Structure 1
Amino acid sequence: MNWPKIESYLARYRVAAAVTYVALVLLFVFTTMQTTIEILDSRDAAISSGEILQTLESRHQTPRTMARTEAGVPIGSPFLEGQTASVASAMLLQRVLAAAKRVSGNTLSSQVDIQGPQAKSGFVSATFNIELASASLQALLYDLEAGMPFVFVDELVVQPVSGNPDRMRVVLGISAQRRAAK
């Protein structure tokens, strides 16, 4: 069929022409609506994904001391910095106190043992008495063991705080190796 035959057919049968016109208009309207609905669904999915990503990113914001490279390795030296055992022990105190503060813990006392049994092999040890929320203990231990410099938990004693079951008192024995003097 060629175009002149179609025109003569539609001119002869006006009802068929009107039905064809209405069918084509409905087809175009349906196609436009379907495309618009798909675009809106895609936009809603993108907005939802963006909100989920923003929630996840805000939930896992890491402080500078816990920053990691793309490979998941913590940034920084694995050893305590400091030319003397006293300076290295001060760095250990600073590291543990900062970790306790990040989980809203209260450090009640701390004691550094520079002359301990591991001192000859370059280790500095310290004992901390920390009070914190029960739910924060895991975050504290992860922060200490996964960050830099490498810190090892030698002793862990956990007791509930009397009168407050949501808080606990933690005695934490920590050691870290200091960089050997050059």
Structure 2
Amino acid sequence: MSIAKFVTGRPAAPSVAAAVYGGLLIVLIAATALPIKSVLDQRSEAAALTDTLRLLDAHSMAAAHQDGNGDAGLTGSAFLEGPTVTVAGAALLQRLGDVVTRHGGSVSSSQLDVQGPRAKDGHISVNANFETPQSALQPILYDLEAGMPCLFVDELVVEGNAPSAASGGKLRVLMTISGQWQGPQ
């Protein structure tokens, strides 16, 4: 079929013209509705994030009022401090031990890793085994991650016997935490 015959030929059946018109109408409606839906989804996501931010702000203000001294947990450097990587690692070990014992746990072993795969970037890791009451695990995690310097829980393995764990017994915890050493000051 040549173009000349197509243009000069007989007009299409009304049903074909109606189908083409309906198809174009559906495409135009979809092209209008999809961006509107996307904008509405982004707006609801932003509202949800705003609500989460308000909750976090309220939680931090409540914790500051409870402590009585504002941002006391956020003072200090975000980096592990020390003249050498070994001293900074010892400070990290000390902080972990202090937090665990403050919440009624006891550290059975710990190992400092200053030569791991991320060590060249200044990351220091500590592997620790400790026992703690079940109710103290969440406050231990919060104390480690919420204060300064910034620490991260890289691995957490918790073991407990079902009867003793349910009755508030001790949990055996294997944890790897890491922080970043900025270098000698």
Query: Normalising TM by the smaller chain, what interval?
Result: 0.5 to 0.7
Partner amino acid for 1:115?
A: Q
Structure 2 stretches lacking a partner, 5+ long: 1-61
Superposition map of 1:16-31 within 5 A: none
Q: Distance in 1 between matches of 2:71 and 2:82?
A: 27
2:76 equivalent in structure 1: 76
Moved over 6 A (4+): none
Return the match for 2:175 from 169, 172, 176.
Answer: 172
Q: Distance in 1 between matches of 2:162 and 2:112?
A: 27
State the 1:180 CA deviation: 2.5
1:130 equivalent in structure 2: 130
Measured against aligned partners, the alpha-carbon deviations of 1:8-40 in whole angstroms (never above 9, x if no partner) come to xxxxxxxxxxxxxxxxxxxxxxxxxxxxxxxxx
State the 1:75 CA deviation: 1.3
- Report how many residues are paired: 119
1:156 equivalent in structure 2: 156
1:107 equivalent in structure 2: 107
1:93 counterpart SS class: helix
Q: Distance in 2 between matches of 1:89 and 1:73?
A: 20
User: Conserved in 2, the CA contact under 8 Å of 1:79 and 1:149?
Assistant: yes
Partner amino acid for 2:115?
A: Q
TM-score, normalised with respect to structure 1: 0.59
For the aligned residues, what is the CA RMSD?
2.4
Superposition map of 1:20-99 within 5 A: 60=66, 70=70, 74-99=74-99
User: Conserved in 2, the CA contact under 8 Å of 1:69 and 1:75?
Assistant: no
Give the direction of change, closer, same or farther, for the CA distance of 1:121–1:100 in structure 2 (3 Å limit): same
Partner amino acid for 1:168?
A: L
Partner amino acid for 1:99?
A: V
Measured against aligned partners, the alpha-carbon deviations of 1:110-158 in whole angstroms (never above 9, x if no partner) come to 0001101110100111100010000100000000000111111000000
Partner amino acid for 2:131?
A: E
2:75 counterpart SS class: coil
Q: Name which one, 1 or 2, has greater alpha-carbon Rg.
A: 1
User: Conserved in 1, the CA contact under 8 Å of 2:84 and 2:183?
Assistant: no
User: Conserved in 1, the CA contact under 8 Å of 2:124 and 2:179?
Assistant: yes
Structure 1 stretches lacking a partner, 5+ long: 1-55, 63-67
Q: Which moved further from structure 2: 82-91 or 156-165?
A: 156-165
Q: Distance in 2 between matches of 1:69 and 1:121?
A: 34
1:9 equivalent in structure 2: none
1:142 equivalent in structure 2: 142
